[in-house]
Structure 1
């Protein structure tokens, strides 16, 4: 719940998963990404089924003239399309472009969450010890409730990811859970 406004509605945030994996450390990240895609796909389906907003926040691959559809198509035409197809944005999905690590840094995400009356963000995607960590901090300082499904975030370095999860829990009050512990249906019942 947003401690300032009392808003409880959740949003599922998918961080940097629309990806060509054509970057430094990609070979280290790919095994972890492969491991989370089935879990993330199921979580996305559950969120959609409960009418919880699914918001993709993604790097733009440095192509400032690109739009989200082009990013999705570029990733789907690459060698790792099997990681994109199961989690592909649908027509109801929202999409925010980012340029730096945090999903909030100079993006309209804060305003979008306010408009959607979201007080709770479920952060998924990659990279646990980088973008997920910085985004959790920025969500925390915006008084949003933060949940991290530990089996729906991918890391480059497992030991740093473990430390990042501990920091998010201890320093930011994030709930660290398994994806199957997230009950989007309960939030749908509260909205009725």
Structure 2
């Protein structure tokens, strides 16, 4: 990723979720707290015409596309966590198989193509996928912002440690979602 690119993107990590996996019962209460904040953040990014990119696990469904993943999540008991934040027609979608949004995905190329030098990472799980994605973004010389109230965790003490690591070791800006600004597009 070349440095010096000025655009921003909002990356929503693993929020299109069926919540039928190990640790889901620990994750759901945290997700319930962040969904309204995420919905506002996504709405502000869309209003500013900032790219909104969903980076999501594929639930092991290797023949599926993003629409099928959204449909599967909406058909499950926690559809109320998906509906307010689901992708719209302008949203971009990157399917991932492992923790980082960059691992074996076209994310680096997509961000370069969009002229993005700053990513706002939100979603779940703070101490796993968000943390590893922040590290990989840092390695790629991207500026990283993580709104602490727009990420969901399984273990609160690990979330606090992960946010501290992102800030100290990766130079990430850790802020509240209301502090995230999306500059209007130029041109």
Query: What is aligned with 1:170?
Result: 168
1:66-104: CA deviation from partner (whole Å, max 9, x where unpaired): 100000001011100000000010000000000000000
Tell me how far 1:164 sits from its aligned partner: 0.3
RMSD between aligned residues:
0.9
User: Please, what TM-score do these two structures have when normalized by structure 2?
Assistant: 0.98
Counterpart contact for 2:3–2:142, Cα < 8 Å: no
1:70 equivalent in structure 2: 68
Deviation at 1:112, TM superposition (A): 0.2
3-state SS of 2:127 partner: helix
The answer for the alignment partner of 1:119 in structure 2 is 117
Secondary structure of 2:105's counterpart equals coil
Counterpart of 1:160 in structure 2 is: 158
- The residue number in structure 1 matching 2:128 is 130
Give the unaligned 5+ runs of structure 1. none
How far 1:55 moved relative to its partner? Answer: 0.2
Partner of 1:188: 184
Alignment of structure 1 residues 1-192 onto 2, 5 Å: 4-184=2-182, 187-188=183-184, 191-192=186-187
- Paired residues of 2:3 and 2:141 also in contact (CA < 8 A): no
Q: Which runs of 5+ in 2 are unaligned?
A: none
Q: Compute the TM-score of the two structures, normalised by the length of structure 1.
A: 0.96
